[in-house]
Amino acid sequence: MNPDTLTWLLAAGVPIALAVTVVTAVVRRRSGTGIGPEGPTGPSAQDDGPGPATGTAVLDRSVEAPVGEAPPVEAPPVEVPEAAVEPELEVPAPVAGRLARLRGRLARSGSPLGARLLAVLSRDHLTEDDWDELEETLLLADVGAGPSADLIEALRTRVRVEGLRDPGQVRAVLREQLLALVDPTLDRSLNTTPSTAADGSHVPAVVLVVGVNGTGKTTTVGKLARVLVAEDRTVLLGAADTFRAAAADQLQTWGSRVGVHTVRSDRDGADPAAVAFDAAKQGRAEGVDVVLVDTAGRLQNKAGLMDELGKITRVLTREAPLAEVLLVLDATTGQNGLNQARVFGEVAGVTGIVLTKLDGTAKGGIVVAVQRELGVPVKLVGLGEGPDDLAPFDPEEFVDGILQG
């Protein structure tokens, strides 16, 4: 607007009050009324050149009001440009007690098992048919043939020796036997402690996460990063699943929510071993506690998988020893999951199992079967799609979850 506008309006015979109002309105619109990141004197208020999108929008709106039109009292609010807003970091839920918090989901999935076992065991005189029914119930819950037979045998002995009279006693004996099957003596701790190399340099704990695509691997790496952040660990992610286009983006999003960086390649199909190596190297240089490496899991060809994981392992161990190799298994896949476990067990030197989607199955018995199959403990369980729905596996909480309801 020309600075002489007021004079010009007055000369044209416009009443002074209206002329002043029009000029004031135009000036207010140009200044953005102070709403926005820069305040009334910021660049978006003064620059006529192209600026940030919203700054331009402010200028675009500052069309002079035609004479006689009632001036707006306030300019529309200016949106803050996204880039100017630091995303607020999320605070992950505490790790202690997570399984207790999520136990309801286990009960939903496990109650058919617990309730059916209790119902049969509470009958007055257990016949051979009853014992068959018990075994069938265990098999249907994916407990596996060997462990089911062991459990039946143990229960038969208890019944013969002690007799099972009141429901409280039935429950207590079943709890004890299920717990023995899940094996509370296994070491389920995650090795995430960094070490010191011979030359005195810092070596992060490198955790390699393997499993078939679709089992929840990337999600688990994201959730695990949150578990570690909740425990005040510093973490770096390595996106070595370079075959699934969105995997690196997905991982990066998980990390950025809790302030964890991701090492990735900028092109799909890059060598996963190179990305894993870069992540370990950067983790060393930055002095982080834990480097979590996500991998691709294509099972079409066992030799190919073996080559790929073998190469990743070799190059990673040049930088740091593997602290953990976690196999992610989808609990809803039953026998198929066990077959996968067998293959990965052979090729990857698995040290722990993460059983995902336990919230979506009545077959919690897979915990027992997979531990027997691989001889390694279930260390973590996924009980939902929420960011903090990953819990350290606790045998007692697990059995209580199955038996409640």
Footprint of ligand GDP on this chain (CB under 6 A)?
211, 213-219, 356-357, 359-360, 382-385, 389
Find the shortest distance in angstroms from Cβ 356 to ligand GDP: 4
Q: Which is nearer to ligand GDP, 174 or 328 (CB)?
A: 328
Find the shortest distance in angstroms from Cβ 31 to ligand GDP: 48
C-beta separation of 155 from 162 below 8 A = no
Phi, psi at 196, each rounded to 5° = -120, 130
Find the shortest distance in angstroms from Cβ 251 to ligand GDP: 9
Find the shortest distance in angstroms from Cβ 80 to ligand GDP: 31
Q: Is 397 left (phi over 0), alpha (psi -120 to 50) or beta?
A: alpha
Find the shortest distance in angstroms from Cβ 241 to ligand GDP: 7
Q: Which is nearer to ligand GDP, 194 or 344 (CB)?
A: 344
Helix axes 167-182, 103-121, angle to 10 degrees: 120
Find the shortest distance in angstroms from Cβ 296 to ligand GDP: 8
Find the shortest distance in angstroms from Cβ 199 to ligand GDP: 36
Which one-letter DSSP state was computed for residue 246? T
Find the shortest distance in angstroms from Cβ 258 to ligand GDP: 16
Neighbours of 226 (CB within 10 A): 23
Tokens found for residue 364:
């919690």
Burial degree of 144 (CB within 10 A; 0-12, 13-18, 19+):
buried
**Element spanning 135, H or E:** helix 128-140
Q: Which is nearer to ligand GDP, 155 or 291 (CB)?
A: 291
The two beta strands, 235-240 and 378-382, are unpaired
Alpha helices by DSSP H, listed for 122-166, are 128-140, 145-162
Q: Which is nearer to ligand GDP, 81 or 384 (CB)?
A: 384
Residue of 306, 310, 275, 269 whose CA lies nearest to 292: 275
SS3 label, residue 238: strand
Neighbours of 14 (CB within 10 A): 16
**Element spanning 272, H or E:** helix 272-286
Question: Tokens 């336990």 belong to which residue?
Answer: 358
SS3 label, residue 57: helix
Q: Which is nearer to ligand GDP, 307 or 385 (CB)?
A: 385
**Element spanning 195, H or E:** strand 195-196
Q: CB nearest ligand GDP: which residue?
A: 382
Q: Which is nearer to ligand GDP, 44 or 250 (CB)?
A: 250
Q: Which is nearer to ligand GDP, 69 or 385 (CB)?
A: 385
Neighbours of 171 (CB within 10 A): 17
Find the shortest distance in angstroms from Cβ 281 to ligand GDP: 24
* Distance between CA atoms of residues 356 and 150, nearest Å: 26
Q: Which is nearer to ligand GDP, 31 or 109 (CB)?
A: 109
Q: Which is nearer to ligand GDP, 105 or 188 (CB)?
A: 105
